[in-house]
Structure 1
């Protein structure tokens, strides 16, 4: 599943151009019919946790969030699920953090969202992550608050009603006092299974159930900020090492002009696109390689020839850059660099999911193109297409 799936029938272009970082929005039924996680699967995740009380599983009730009591952990460090069920039945919301580390389907979803955003020019300062919330009927786990991340809320089971601040509040994560919350203009959204709600960062929100329980996953999204870009500029450009003029230190207007001139200098304007591109390439998609059956592969790269069908490894995002006479293709877990003549081949790999060495464009000879794909297989960007995938290609 990708971001495009979650938003359907709306498009990622529409989302990025009109909604991203701007306003809350409901996407009805985008995740309908897709099996991400059910309540039995959620309980299975809890049963597999080790030392869940150490920042992994939390409780929340009536706006009060707290860590899991150590008394729920047995001598082997595992959860006592009987006690967990009792606490849930007593009104406690179960809040599981970093669920993408436990669930392959949630890992796939987070990676798919990251890649869709990257392909539409949206960079993230941190990788997307999935947190899961199971709330009993007639309950509100968390008090009104503002987060430093945007959220894609995917309703998996039951029903939950959200109230979301219409206009942006402070640009800091914080709790919203109830007196202030009562004065804020809200929009209300009731989510049914398959619905997806987008909540921008720093937008106050609260949610509660009524007559039925609710299971939802929140995909946390951290947009790249200007402060992140400024940090890249400060590190990369020598002009930023210039001292602040001491004679003007008490003149705020003169200091502002000096800084504005520095930031608008030709050096900064020329370097900014490249700095932003490199920053996005490093941060937008996490570097961990997703499981894709690599341990079960038979036959080494030496058996790959010009006609061997290859596919992009699961969740592998690519970025191609040039540096003088060299081209580099970067992807989760590694990078491959070669002479500039390999650039067309790298660009083809970056935008094509299924390929053969014989299909690679450019002036490389047959032997060189085979060497390129063998290297990309060895480093984990490509893998052999499986028989079922080859049959699908033939249709």
Structure 2
């Protein structure tokens, strides 16, 4: 499932141009038929949790959220599901964080949405993540609040009514005071199975169930901000390690003028493009590596030849950078660097959904290109294609 699937019939481009970071929007039935999670599967996830009371599973009721009481944990550190069921039946919303770490389908969906956004020029400052909310009948778990992230709410079971601020409010995440909430203008949405609701960051919202219990997954999307870009490069900007002249420290206007002059200096202007050019590559390298048969990646490595079909490892994107006489391909968990002669081959790998060493462009000989793809398999960017995968990509 992709971001385009979740926004049907709206295109990703139209969504980003007219809705993203601006207005709440409902996509009725966009996730219909997606077998991501049901209540039984959610309980199975809970049953596998260890030390769930340490910030993983929370209870929420009547607008108050609290950590799971220690009494819910047995002597082995596992959840006592009898206690969880009683709490749910007694009106408690169950709020599970980082569900993408427990569910391969949710992990794939989060990575897919994250990469789809990046492909459309919208990188995130944090990896996309999935939280799960199970709410009993006639209940409201959370008080009206604003989040510092955008949300895609995927409704899985039951029904839930939402009140969402018409437009994004002030950039102050947290609870919305009752008096302010009473003055806001809202849009109301009733979500059922398969519906998808987009809520922009800093857009106040609250939700409650009626006659039916509810299960939904929230994908949390943290847009990249200018201050995040600044954080990436500030340590390497020339001149910032110099001492502030004593004459300026007592005068705020003089201090501001001096900083502005420094940031506008030719040295900083010259350095910025190179510093910013590595931001995308660094963010790619920091992404969590998803499981995809990597423990056996060295098996049969020497059997890979120029005609062996290879595919990108699950959830792995990559970026190629050039630095003088070398080229580097960056991917989740690592990077492979080689002489500039390998640049064309790496660029082909970065763009192609399937790869054979025989198809790599450039001046490298057969042995050299086979060594390149073997290295990319050994380091986790590529893996051998499984039965039927090449035909599926071709379709």
**TM-score, shorter chain, exceeding 0.5:** yes
Matched positions, count? 395
TM-superposed CA distance for 1:298, in Å, is 8.3
Distance across 2 between alignment mates of 1:154 and 1:285: 28
TM-superposed CA distance for 1:14, in Å, is 2.2
Distance across 2 between alignment mates of 1:235 and 1:178: 42
SS across alignment from 2:240: helix
Q: Is the 8 A contact 1:64 1:143 kept in 2?
A: yes
Q: Is the 8 A contact 2:161 2:190 kept in 1?
A: yes
TM-superposed CA distance for 1:246, in Å, is 3.5
Q: Is the 8 A contact 1:285 1:317 kept in 2?
A: no
Are 2:305 and 1:309 equivalent residues in the alignment?
no
SS across alignment from 1:188: strand
Superposed CA deviations along residues 151-178 of structure 1, whole A, max 9, x for unmatched, are 1111111122222222332323221111
Q: Summarize the alignment of residues 89-100 of structure 1 with structure 2, pairs less than 5 Å apart.
A: 89-100=89-100
Give the aligned CA root-mean-square deviation in angstroms: 2.0
Are 2:174 and 1:171 equivalent residues in the alignment?
no
List alignment gaps of at least 5 residues for structure 2. Answer: none
**Residues 370 and 131 from structure 1, CA distance in 2 versus in 1: closer, same or farther, beyond 3 angstroms?**
same
SS across alignment from 2:83: helix
**Residues 343 and 304 from structure 1, CA distance in 2 versus in 1: closer, same or farther, beyond 3 angstroms?**
same
List alignment gaps of at least 5 residues for structure 1. Answer: none
Distance across 2 between alignment mates of 1:376 and 1:130: 29
Superposed CA deviations along residues 266-304 of structure 1, whole A, max 9, x for unmatched, are 443444344334233323675322111334568422111
Q: Summarize the alignment of residues 243-254 of structure 1 with structure 2, pairs less than 5 Å apart.
A: 243-254=243-254
Question: After the TM superposition, which of the residue ranges 113-122 and 321-330 deviates more from structure 2?
Answer: 113-122
**Residues 266 and 201 from structure 1, CA distance in 2 versus in 1: closer, same or farther, beyond 3 angstroms?**
farther
Question: After the TM superposition, which of the residue ranges 371-380 and 235-244 deviates more from structure 2?
Answer: 235-244
Alignment partner, residue 387 of structure 2: 387
TM-superposed CA distance for 1:250, in Å, is 4.7
SS across alignment from 2:361: coil
Distance across 1 between alignment mates of 2:394 and 2:164: 48
Alignment partner, residue 21 of structure 2: 21
Distance across 1 between alignment mates of 2:368 and 2:193: 51
Alignment partner, residue 124 of structure 2: 124
Alignment partner, residue 83 of structure 1: 83
Q: Summarize the alignment of residues 50-199 of structure 1 with structure 2, pairs less than 5 Å apart.
A: 50-199=50-199
TM-superposed CA distance for 1:383, in Å, is 0.7
Question: After the TM superposition, which of the residue ranges 132-141 and 281-290 deviates more from structure 2?
Answer: 281-290
So what's the TM-score if we normalise by structure 1?
A: 0.94
Alignment partner, residue 326 of structure 2: 326
Are 2:342 and 1:342 equivalent residues in the alignment?
yes
So what's the TM-score if we normalise by structure 2?
A: 0.94
**Residues 126 and 209 from structure 1, CA distance in 2 versus in 1: closer, same or farther, beyond 3 angstroms?**
same
Are 2:293 and 1:280 equivalent residues in the alignment?
no
